Structure 1
C-alpha cells in the first residue's frame, strides 16, 4: 500500500487562514477530499493522512468527519491544547475515534524554547497513555528544543514534519544537519520527507537543490524512519503533486524497491498504525 503521510483540507477563511499570504494566491480557496482523490489516483497513492492546519478542536472533528466519509483518508493528525489542565479528559474523549492517530501544534509560530516548557512537555507525555503520536512542526532555530523534547519523552513516537524546514533557498545546512543527526539517534523519532519545495526558490528550484538535505535525512534516519508526504495543497505554490513525488522517487532509485516501499507506505503504516 502506498501512503501520502501529510496533506491538508480546509474551507478557506481569510481571517483564520492568515498564514496563506498574498504570494500564495493559488491556495486561497477550498481544498477538500473530492479535490485530492483524483490526484492520488493519478499518482498511484492508495491513502493519506490528513493533518491539522488550524489550532482548534473543531479542526480535529472536521478532519475526523472527512475520514469517516472518505475511505482513502486512513488517518488524522489533529489538534488539542496540550497545555490544558483538562488534557487527560480531552485525550480520553478523542481516543474513541479510530482514525485519530496523533496530534500537532504549530510550534513554528511559537518561541524557540516553546517545546522545552514544562507544561508542554507534561502534555506531550500524556499522549503515551492513549498511544497517540506527535508531529513536530518547527523551523531549524527550534531544533535544540525538539532534541530536548524527544530525549525527555522517549515513550511517545515523534515525527518531524518537512525535514524541520531547512533553509534550502539559502543553501544553509550546517547547524540544521548537526541537530538532525542528534535527533535521529532517538529511535522514537521519524522524519517526513515532505514540504521541501516550499523552502526552496518557488519559481526556480531544481531537483538537485534537495539532494544535500535528503542525504542528511537518509544517512541518519535511514529508509526505515523516513516517510513520504506531499504537503498538498501547500506544495502547489511551488510544485505540482507529481513533481513533489518525483523528487523523492528519483532520489530513492539507487536504494532499490524495498526502500521505496518503506518510504512510500510501510513506514507511515507502522508509525501511524494505519
Structure 2
C-alpha cells in the first residue's frame, strides 16, 4: 500500500495560477479528484494527502469538502492566515474538521528573506501543536538556514519539509544544500517528503542518475523512519508521468528492506498526518 503525501487539485484560472508559465503549459487546465483517481488506480496508491495551492481560506474549505466526498483523499494540508490576530479562532473552527491534518504557507514566494522568522507568523505556528496539526515547510534551498532557526523555536511542533527543500538540481549543485539538510535533519520533529525533484531539474533533460545524489543525501540525513513519498502531481507532469516518478522513487530506494520501504511509502504518512 502507498500513500501519496503531496499532490494538488485545482479549477484552473489563469490569474490565480499565474505561476504556471509557458514552460508548464501542459498543466494549464483543471485537475480534480476524478482525474487523480484515474491516474492512481493502477499504481498501488491507495490514499493521498491533498496540499493547498492558493493562499486563501476558501481554498482550504474547498479541499475539505472534496475530502469529505472522496474516500481516497485521506487528509488535507490547507492554508490559514497564521500571522493574523484571529488565527486561534480559525484554528479552533477548522481543527474540528477531521480531514484537516496540517497547514502550509508558501514561504518560498515571500520577498522578505526572514519571513519565516517573523514574530506574528511564529505566534501562529506556536498554536498548531494544541490542535495536533502538522506544519509543512515550503522553501527554496537558500532558505534552509532560516528554516533551521525557525524549527528550533518550536521543538514540540511536527514539521514536514516539502520537496527536499528544492535544491538546485538543474545546476547539479549539491552544496551547501546537503550540509544544511543534514543539520536540519538533526531535529527529530522534522520529516521530509521525497517529492518535487524532477521539476527542480531540466524538465526535458533530467536523468535518474542526476537525481540519485539528492536521494542519497535525504536518505542518509533523515533515514527511512522520517521520509515520505509524494508525487507533486499535477506539477510533476511537466517533467514526468505519475507512474514514472513512482517507479523512479522505488528504484532509488531499492536497497531498503521491505519494512523500511513500508515506512517511506505508507506508515510514516499515516503516523505523521494521523490519517
1:6 maps to 2:12: no
Contact 1:112 1:141 (8 Å CA) reproduced: no
Report the counterpart of residue 193 of structure 1 in structure 2: 194
1:109 maps to 2:109: yes
Contact 1:252 1:259 (8 Å CA) reproduced: no
Report the counterpart of residue 243 of structure 1 in structure 2: 244
Report the counterpart of residue 270 of structure 1 in structure 2: 271
* 1:247 CA displacement: 1.5
Q: Alpha-carbon deviations, 1:187-206, whole Å to 9, x = none? A: 00000000000001110111
Report the counterpart of residue 17 of structure 1 in structure 2: 17
CA distance in 1 between partners of 2:74 and 2:193 (Å): 17
User: How does 1:32-181 map onto structure 2 within 5 Å?
Assistant: 32-110=32-110, 111-181=112-182
CA distance in 2 between partners of 1:249 and 1:258 (Å): 13
CA distance in 2 between partners of 1:181 and 1:123 (Å): 27
3-state DSSP of counterpart to 1:253: coil
CA distance in 2 between partners of 1:217 and 1:24 (Å): 27
CA distance in 1 between partners of 2:245 and 2:105 (Å): 24
Relative to the length of structure 1, the TM-score reads 0.99
CA distance in 2 between partners of 1:62 and 1:44 (Å): 26
CA distance in 2 between partners of 1:40 and 1:267 (Å): 20
* 1:209 CA displacement: 1.0
CA distance in 1 between partners of 2:31 and 2:170 (Å): 27
* 1:256 CA displacement: 2.1
3-state DSSP of counterpart to 2:255: helix
Q: Alpha-carbon deviations, 1:82-104, whole Å to 9, x = none? A: 00001100000001100100100
What is the aligned residue count? Answer: 274
* 1:120 CA displacement: 1.2
**Deviant stretches of 4+, over 3 Å:** none
Relative to the length of structure 2, the TM-score reads 0.98
Q: Which runs of 5+ in 1 are unaligned?
A: none
CA distance in 2 between partners of 1:95 and 1:257 (Å): 35
Q: Which moved more, 1:250-259 or 1:28-37?
A: 250-259
Q: Alpha-carbon deviations, 1:29-87, whole Å to 9, x = none? A: 00000000021111110000000000000000000010000000000000000000011
3-state DSSP of counterpart to 2:135: strand
3-state DSSP of counterpart to 2:170: coil
* 1:246 CA displacement: 1.3
Contact 1:135 1:161 (8 Å CA) reproduced: yes
* 1:134 CA displacement: 0.3
RMSD: 0.7
* 1:154 CA displacement: 1.1
